Amino acid sequence: MSEEKDTLMAMIQRECESCRSCELCGGRHNVVFGTGVTDARVMFIGEGPGEQEDLKGSPFVGKAGILLDKMLKAIDLDRKTNIYIANIVKCRPPMNRDPKPEEQDKCIPWLRKQFSVLKPEIVVCLGRIAAQKIITPDIRITKDHGKLYNKGGTVMMPMFHPAAVLRTPSSKADAFEDFLRLQELMKEKELI
Ligand code: URA
C-alpha cells in the first residue's frame, strides 16, 4: 500500500465527484470513480457505469462485474488486492447507451489523472469503446482481442467486454484465453 498514492487518488476522487463538465452529471446517482488498490501494476478500463454501478458508486458490480470478478479470480487477480478498475466515463449514460465522443473527451482527463497516479505496467481495455479510445481507433475487438500494444512503455491489451461475453456465450473460451495470456504476461514481467 502506498499512502502517498492513496492520498493523491482520494484527492482526485473528491474533485471528480463534483464534476459537471458534461450532461451525464444530470442523471447520476453517483460518480463511479474507480476501485482497487493504488499500487496495482495492472489497470482495467471499461466503458462507463450501468444501472447497478450508478446506484452503488462502484464499477463492474452488476452481472458483467460478477463474470469479470470470476475471470480475475481464476488468474489470482482481485480488486481488493492487486488491480485497479475504472471506466472511460464516470457517470452513467442514459439507457446504457454508448458514451458520446464529446462525453468521453470531457471525462478522459480524470482517467489520465488516475493513470498518472497508478503508473501501471499493463492496461487492459474491456470492450470496443475503451480499446478504441485508449489504444487506437482502428481496434476491432473480435479480431484484435488478446493482442499486445505498446503505448509510451505501457503494455495494453484489448479484451472482450464481459457484458459481450454474457450476450455471446460462444466467446467465453476466447475471453478466458485472453485472461490466461494476461497471466503469462504478468509472469514474464515478474509481476506475479
Ligand atoms: N460496464 C462497464 O463498462 N463498466 C462498468 O463499470 C460496468 C459495466
Give the distance (Å) from ligand 1 centre to CA of residue 28.
14
DSSP structural state of residue 81: T
Average pLDDT, integer, range 41-50:
98
Averaged pLDDT for residues 165-187: 97
Q: In terms of DSSP bridges, do strands 149-151 and 154-159 run parallel, antiparallel, or are they unpaired?
A: antiparallel
64 lines ligand 1 (CB under 6 A): yes
pLDDT at 108 over 90: yes
93 lines ligand 1 (CB under 6 A): no
Tell me phi and psi for residue 148, to 5 degrees: -105, 135
Q: Is residue 1 over pLDDT 80?
A: no
Asked whether 4 and 116 are in contact (CB, 8 A), the reply is no
Whether residue 103 contacts residue 20, with contact meaning beta carbons closer than 8 Å, is answered with no
Mean pLDDT, the chain, as a whole number? Answer: 97
Ligand 1 centroid distance, CA of 59 (Å):
6
For the Cβ of 58 lying below 6 angstroms from any atom of ligand 1, the answer is no
Is residue 52 scored above 80 in pLDDT? yes
Q: What is the mean pLDDT of residues 183-189?
A: 96
Q: How far is the CA of 53 from the centre of ligand 1 (A)?
A: 7
Q: Check pocket membership of 49 for ligand 1, CB cut-off 6 A.
A: yes
59-84 average pLDDT score: 97
Residue nearest atom 6 in ligand 1 by C-alpha distance: 59
Q: 120: Cβ below 6 Å to ligand 1?
A: no
47 in ligand 1 pocket by Cβ < 6 Å?
yes
Residue 192: per-residue pLDDT: 83
Q: What is the pLDDT of residue 29?
A: 98
Would you say residue 26 has pLDDT above 90?
yes
Higher pLDDT, 192 or 46: 46
Residue 162 and residue 65 in contact, taking contact as beta carbons nearer than 8 Å: yes
Q: For 60-72, what is each residue's pLDDT tens digit? A: 999 999 999 999 9
CB atoms within 10 A of CB 14: 10
Indicate whether residue 87 lines ligand 1 (CB < 6 A). Answer: yes
